[in-house]
């Protein structure tokens, strides 16, 4: 998860969002490191709890910006956030039933970072940057 493009590439140019995104990636990397060091089983619950807390806070802020500035892709972006929360809840259920598998969760997160954080979020960031001037 330490691809070179995850540094500056993550930034949207909106300070309040970028600080959270940077901390999010640092925490995600810490989970990857811990998984490598300790094995997967004991981590799954921590990863799920952290993801839910991050998403609840961060998505709310992003969605607020999109609404305030009339972002035309708001509905589809919102659906991605909702899909993410549903997936995390499925992982949470799996954790409750069988302890979960942090490799699955972190694999999913790797895809999410590339597709959402570096894709649709940056698209949103470009729009917001234009309208925040
Ligand atoms: Fe987003």
CA 62 – ligand 1 centroid, Å: 6
pLDDT score at 44: 82
Rg (CA), the chain: 15
For residue 40, CA distances in Å to 92, 105, 113 come to 15, 10, 20
Query: What is the pTM (predicted TM-score) of this model?
Result: 0.86
CA 133 – ligand 1 centroid, Å: 21
CA 89 – ligand 1 centroid, Å: 17
pLDDT score at 41: 59
In the chain the domains, ranked by start, together with CATH numbers, are: 15-32+41-132 (1.20.120.50)
Q: Convert the pLDDT of each residue in 51-97 to its tens digit.
A: 999 888 899 999 999 999 999 999 999 999 999 999 999 988 888 88
Average pLDDT over residues 99-114: 87
What percentage of residues in the chain have a pLDDT greater than 90? 37
Average pLDDT over residues 30-39: 82
CA 11 – ligand 1 centroid, Å: 13
CA distance 97 to 58: 28
Residues 6+ apart with CB under 8 A from 61: 16, 17, 20
Residues 6+ apart with CB under 8 A from 113: 1, 6, 25, 28
């Amino acid at each position: 998860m330490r691809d070179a493009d995850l540094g500056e590439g993550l930034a949207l140019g909106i300070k309040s969002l970028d600080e959270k995104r940077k901390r999010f990636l640092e925490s995600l990397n810490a989970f990857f490191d811990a998984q490598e060091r300790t094995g997967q089983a004991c981590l799954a619950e921590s990863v799920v709890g952290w993801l839910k807390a991050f998403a609840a806070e961060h998505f709310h802020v992003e969605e607020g910006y999109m609404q305030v500035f009339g972002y035309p892709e708001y509905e589809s972006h919102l659906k991605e956030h909702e899909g993410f929360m549903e997936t995390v809840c499925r992982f949470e259920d799996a954790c409750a039933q069988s302890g979960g598998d942090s490799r699955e969760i972190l694999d999913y997160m790797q895809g999410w970072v590339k597709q959402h954080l570096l894709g649709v979020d940056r698209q949103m960031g470009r729009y917001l940057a234009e309208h925040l001037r």
